[in-house]
Amino acid sequence: MRGKLSWEDAPLTWILQYGVAKIVFIDGEIKMDEIKPSCPECKSNSVAWIFWGYPGDMDWYLKAIKDKEIVGGGCCISDDDPKWECNDCYHQWGERDDD
């Protein structure tokens, strides 16, 4: 896309991706989310976030596992838990966020 863009000309939702962050502009608000990285071992794009702790919504949890969006990490949380798991080679990497 060429030319100068302004926020006034923007559609209601803009999604810009840069590195491992997704910047979302929705109705005048800017939000940032992390996007899934590729597996450093096999380079697959089929990657799941490792869910640590007990899920509050079991229906969402089971659907997300079925859809390979997450994998269960367990309820015991430590200081060096991985954040990502490859759905193809099962390699785990990254650092779990404390949220």
3-state secondary structure of 25: strand
- pLDDT attached to residue 1: 43
Residue 52 Cα distances to 5, 32, 56, angstroms: 41, 22, 12
Summarize the confidence of residues 18-47 as an average pLDDT: 71
- For residues 64 and 13, the model is more confident at 64
pLDDT confidence bin for 56, thresholds 50/70/90? confident
Q: Quick one: pLDDT at residue 9?
A: 52
Place 35 in a pLDDT band, splitting at 50, 70 and 90: confident
Q: How far apart are CA 96 and CA 42, in angstroms?
A: 21
Q: Is pLDDT of 23 > 60?
A: no
Put simply, whether the predicted model's pTM sits higher than 0.85 gets the answer no
Q: State pLDDT tens for residues 57-99.
A: 899 999 999 999 999 999 899 989 999 999 999 999 999 887 6
